[in-house]
A and B are shown apart, each in its own frame.
Chain A
Amino acid sequence: MLVVQPVREVVRFLPALLVLALAGRGSGGPGGPGGVGWEAVAVLVAVGVGVARYLTTTYRIGDGRVELRRGLVSRRVVSARLDRVRSIDLTSSVVQRLFGLTTMRIGTGTAAGEDDGDLDLDGLRRPAAEDLRGRLLGAREPAVAPAASYDGEAGADGPSTTAVAAPVAEPETVARFDLRWLRFAPLTGTGLVVAGATFGLVTQVAAQAGLWERLEDGGASSLAGVGGVALLALLVALGVGLLLVVAAISVVGFWVTEGGYRLTREPGTWRVSRGLLTTRETSLDEQRVAGATIAEPLLLRWAGGRSLRAIVTGVDASERGSSALVPPSDATVAPYVAGVVLGGPAPVDVPLRDHGPAARARRRTRALGPAAVLPVAAAVLVVAGGPWWPLVPALLAVPVAWGLAEDRVRGLGHARAGGYVVARSGSLTRGRDMLAEDHVIGWNLRATWFQRRVGLTTLQATTAGGSGAVTVLDVPEGDALTLAHGTAPELLEQFLEHA
């Protein structure tokens, strides 16, 4: 048990050590012995910090609170009320899995969104962690009073034998991973991030090894004889090759992070498990799930994919990982799961109400207006004696913008169904938001002078989770009031004037 923290600390410092090693080598021969000395000191410091952290960290659960104490010099105690627990993450890296350990992150949903509010319990034994999770999530029921004191250092003989608070029931699987979903990987944010990170790493290593200088020295002479067309072909081939590599990397990345995905329902909780190497299990309190968003960005939609994330009260949009319900998958999966999670297919299936001609015209002018400026600017440049080639991309921008505008027009809509406010908008990042009416905690109506002129407004139903609000874009003012009034009659009535 003691092993894991120091190992993790060394792993955390590994990039720094690598840079140190490379810098030591790069700065020339004489610096050699000094470089080795620094590395040793760095490793020692890293291990020392790890041991110190381990020895000074304790966890405690009791009196309706969970407490994390740490620090040797400056002591810090983070404590949270058990009934404020919104989500629990169990993350096990490969090293931790070897030792049968896991890290528990307890999301308590502070409005400030600082990570100080979250409690990270590091290096728990797996069965003890699962038992603890059961207690924490069961703590909402008044019948179960968590009284046991839980100590991180005594974890070796943790009270895994004491009564398990969580009701033992067969978990029901709602969705599980399908290898065919890998085809969506290059089109997802995660895939692109993994590809970008890997690419960045490789370039950095190449730069450190002096690869670019060598390429320039050797390349200049050999490229001098090559014609322009051949050079272009070479560049295109290079671009295509790079794209293929990025796609392959993103597929592997997607598989590693999402492989083994499974969504299960246990009494009062939704649980998402995923990850091939580092496994991650997220448990969401059913009561805190305020709604869901079916994400259908343009590229993913073209490939026939959708993904789903929950809008969880107290879980900020920046903590995407904690609220993902379904990764990019076949078009039928996300709507099906949304229907199950939201307690009925009504908000998923309901046809959306059109926002009318003014909203359509606004989508078109807002997309085409800026795009139309480009050809004009390019033409002015040509007349002024500039090069002609900027005209080509400038003219191409117009049909692209037009296509986006039409897609945005098709996406626009809202509805009220099954106790949910439903809104959809966007093209490149289209999403269908479904928010439970009793989780709406306020209404914002924003209209610029242009919008007021044509009787439109942008309505926001605010909520305590996700991005803070569900936005109904450019809706006719009458429809906006009908939607808000239908959801919260007593609230709106006092501010309405009936003609």
Chain B
Amino acid sequence: MSDAAGPVLREPAHRVSPRAVWMWTTTAAAEALVLLVALVVATLVWDGLHWWAPALLAVVELGWVLVVPRWRYRVHRWEVTDSAVYTQVGWWARERRIAPMSRVQTVDHVEGAVARVFGLASVTVTTASAAGALSIDGLDKDLARRLVDELTRQADAVPGDAT
């Protein structure tokens, strides 16, 4: 609203792997299914619940499973330059994080169970701050590997204890 002429923070350059949508859909669907089964069982056991309750939940969940992963994919972006790491994650709440390369402390590479099925991995870059970890989910596995190597090399090149 007030950014009539001032500079604007652009989005990070790269999207994550398109397969991430399927990973998020799988996870969301699994969670939705567990919840739905629980409610169906509750309806069978307890007379106070009507059949429209699980039906309504199913409709809401279907929308959730279809929409949220795609929304997430449109938001998730990352960029690594010579001097900084920049990530953007979230869907309803969008969080952008920028950390200077000189403050990077550790670089984590994690392949979760579901992520491995889709050949994906996540990279987490931590700084000395309790509020400063930058995490990118849904990266292609090989790309993530290369990214970790590069980040580690760059972070090592800067002296000091990064606080």
Taking beta carbons and an 8 Å cutoff, which residues of A are in contact with B? 84, 109, 111, 113, 313-314, 316-317, 356, 358, 439, 441-449, 452, 454-455, 460, 462-464, 467-469, 476-479, 481-482, 484-485, 488, 490-492, 494-499
Contacts and interface: CB of A to CB of B under 8 A. Distances in A.
A441 B1 contact: no
Contacts of A445: 9, 95-97
Given A444-B131, A445-B95, A455-B3, A111 B8 contact: no
A489 to B, nearest CB: 11
Interface of B: 1-3, 5-10, 12, 79, 81, 83-84, 86, 90, 92-100, 103, 105, 126-132, 134, 161-163
Contacts of A469: 129-132
Nearest to B7: A496
Which 3 A/B pairs are nearest by Cβ-Cβ distance? A468-B130, A464-B128, A455-B1
Given A444-B132, A495-B84, A499-B6, 6 more contacts: A447-B95, A454-B1, A462-B132, A477-B3, A491-B83, A497-B8
A496 B98 contact: no
Contacts, number: 139
Nearest to B103: A441
Contacts of A111: 105, 126, 128, 130
Contacts of B5: 499
Nearest to A109: B163
A316 B130 contact: yes
A446 B98 contact: no
A467 B130 contact: yes
B105 to A, nearest CB: 7
11 contacts: A111-B128, A439-B163, A442-B134, A443-B98, A462-B99, A462-B129, A469-B129, A479-B2, A481-B7, A497-B7, A499-B7
A308 B126 CA distance: 29
A499 B8 contact: yes
Contact of B128 (A441, A476, A477): A441
A494 B95 contact: no
B8 to A, nearest CB: 5
A477 B6 CA distance: 10
A498 B98 contact: no
Contacts of B98: 442-444, 484, 491-492, 495
Contact of B97 (A316, A444, A452): A444
Nearest to A442: B99
A448 B93 contact: yes
A467 B84 contact: no
Given A464-B163, A495-B10, A444 B96 contact: yes
Given A443-B98, A497-B7, A448 B105 contact: no
B2 A455 contact: yes
B93 A447 contact: yes
Contacts of B162: 441, 464
A491 B84 contact: yes
A442 B10 contact: no
A344 B134 CA distance: 34
Among B3, B10, B86, B98, max chain A CB count under 10 A is at: B98
B93 to A, nearest CB: 4
B71 to A, nearest CB: 10
Nearest to B128: A464
A351 to B, nearest CB: 19
Nearest to B161: A84
B131 A488 contact: no
Contacts of B100: 441-442, 488, 491
A490 B83 CA distance: 9
B86 A495 contact: yes
Contacts of B97: 442-445
Nearest to B100: A491
A491 B86 CA distance: 10
Contact of B2 (A444, A449, A452, A476): A476
B92 A478 contact: no
A478 B3 contact: yes
A442 B103 contact: yes
A442 B129 contact: yes
A498 B7 contact: yes
A480 to B, nearest CB: 8
A464 B132 CA distance: 9
B104 to A, nearest CB: 9
A463 B5 CA distance: 30
A484 B100 CA distance: 13
A101 B100 CA distance: 46
Given A441-B127, A442-B100, A491-B83, A447 B2 contact: no
Nearest to A288: B163
Contacts of B163: 109, 313-314, 439, 441, 464
